[in-house]
Amino acid sequence: MDKPEKFIIDGIRLDGRKPDELRPMKIEVGVLNRADGSCYLEFGKNKVLAAVYGPREVHPRHNQKPTTAVVRFRYNMASFSVEERKRPGPDRRSIEVSKVSREAVEPMIFTEYFPKSAIDIFVEVLQADAGTRTAGINAASIALADASIPMRGLVSSCAVGKVDGELVLDLMKDEDNYGEADMPVAMTPDGEITLLQMDGNLTREELKKALEMATEGCKQIYKLQREALIGRYKKELEEHKEDVELVETITESEETSIESTTTVNIDESGGLDDE
Ligand code: UDP
């Protein structure tokens, strides 16, 4: 598509969004049987799949770290994911995206719990429409949680950019291609930034406002990520309802017997005190 004449008409963007509005996000957790954790995520027209394996043995062995786990992140774009066929295999861009994505999620993982092991994260982009690294980080973060990797929290990610001289949240393809700036951000639920990149130019004031918009966007994404993870385990609990009820009955009866034992103990000690 050629460069549109205008990106914002009467306060509305080309895809019908307001400047501070995210694209719709759809999340499915636990979609791959062989992976320890997985997630399928749609972010607007982006479609990505994340798979997590580990903690597991490191191969080759000389890559293992004696006191922490090694976190490896591979971002890959399918040949059919973009308009013009992408040559398969790693290239400069995918190596860069893999590196920054690893750095975005790694601080949240308790790597010190798993010395000499590896945690492998794979992100496959099936359909790309700008913001694939942010979609990949959101999916990876959920897949890590689904793999029961101990984490300080989830990482959420979105981009802020500039079109027609105005800041906009979560760029779609035309805004990314022809816009004046693109700034992908990833942050923790506490607002700590784990990824901040910048393409183009922003003034100091714009940068401040862009960070505020990204923070708001990440908060909304965090909510969706959390809901998706809770939903997954609710579903699992419902599927095993009878087992859960049985466990609850056993727990309740155990609690009752503990209570009665405690009463006896109190009586006994009371008796001792009286002596
Ligand atoms: N893109 C493409 N072919 C490529 C790489 C990228 O068509 O080989 C498109 C794709 O839609 C991607 C967008 O360009 O989402 C922006 O790429 P960028 O490097 O800014 O990363 P992203 O915004 O996806 O994180």
Q: What is the 3 state secondary structure string of 119-169?
A: EEEEEEEEECCCCHHHHHHHHHHHHHHHCCCCECCCCEEEEEEEECCEEEE
pLDDT at 237: 79
Distance 209 CA to ligand 1 centre (A): 24
Q: What is the pLDDT of residue 266?
A: 46
For ligand 1, atom 15, name the residue with the nearest CA: 130
Number of domains in the chain: 1
1 belongs to a structural domain: no
pLDDT tens string 108-167:
999 999 999 999 999 999 999 999 999 999 999 999 999 999 999 999 999 999 999 999
Q: How far is ligand 1, taken at its centre, from the CA of residue 205, in Å?
A: 27
Residue 243 is predicted with a pLDDT of 79
d(CA 43, CA 154): 17
**Pocket of ligand 1, beta carbon within 6 A:** 82-83, 86, 93, 128-133, 173, 176
Assigned domain for 275 exists = no
Q: Would residue 211 count as lying in a domain? A: yes
State the pLDDT confidence band at 233, using cuts at 50, 70 and 90: confident
Within-domain flag for 262: no
CA of 175 to the centre of ligand 1 (A): 12
Whole-number average pLDDT of the chain: 92
CATH number, domain at 92?
A: 3.30.230.70
Does residue 85 form part of some domain? Answer: yes
Closest ligand 1 atom to the C-alpha of 131? 23
Which of 98, 99, 132 for mutating ligand 1's site (highest number of atoms within 8 Å of CB)?
Answer: 132
Question: Domain range for residue 119?
Answer: 8-238
Q: Report the half-sphere exposure of 111 (CA within 13 A, side-chain side).
A: 20
How far apart are the CA of 159 and the centre of ligand 1, in A? 13
Return the C-alpha torsion angle 245, 238, 243, 38, nearest 10: -140
Residue 159, CB-side half-sphere exposure with 13 Å CA sphere: 29
pLDDT for res 273: 45
Instruction: Give pLDDT, residue 272.
Output: 41
pLDDT of residue 22: 98
Task: Give bridge partners of residue 196 from the DSSP assignment.
Answer: 185
Q: How confident is the model at residue 220 (pLDDT cuts 50, 70, 90)?
A: very high
Q: Is residue 193 part of a domain?
A: yes
Q: Find the farthest-apart pair of alpha carbons in the chain and give their distance in angstroms, rounded.
A: 95
Least confident of 29-33, 98-102, 263-267: 263-267
Tell whether 268 is covered by a domain. no
- Return the pLDDT at 2: 84
Q: Does residue 254 sit within a domain?
A: no
Round to whole Å and give the CA distance between 174 and 176: 5
The alpha carbon of 265 and the centre of ligand 1 are apart by a number of angstroms equal to 69
pLDDT for 178-209, tens place per residue? 999 999 999 999 999 999 999 999 999 999 99
Q: Which of 1, 82, 129 to mutate to test the pocket of ligand 1 (most atoms within 8 A of CB)?
A: 82
C-alpha 157 – ligand 1 centre gap (Å):
16
Across residues 15-24, what is the average pLDDT? 98
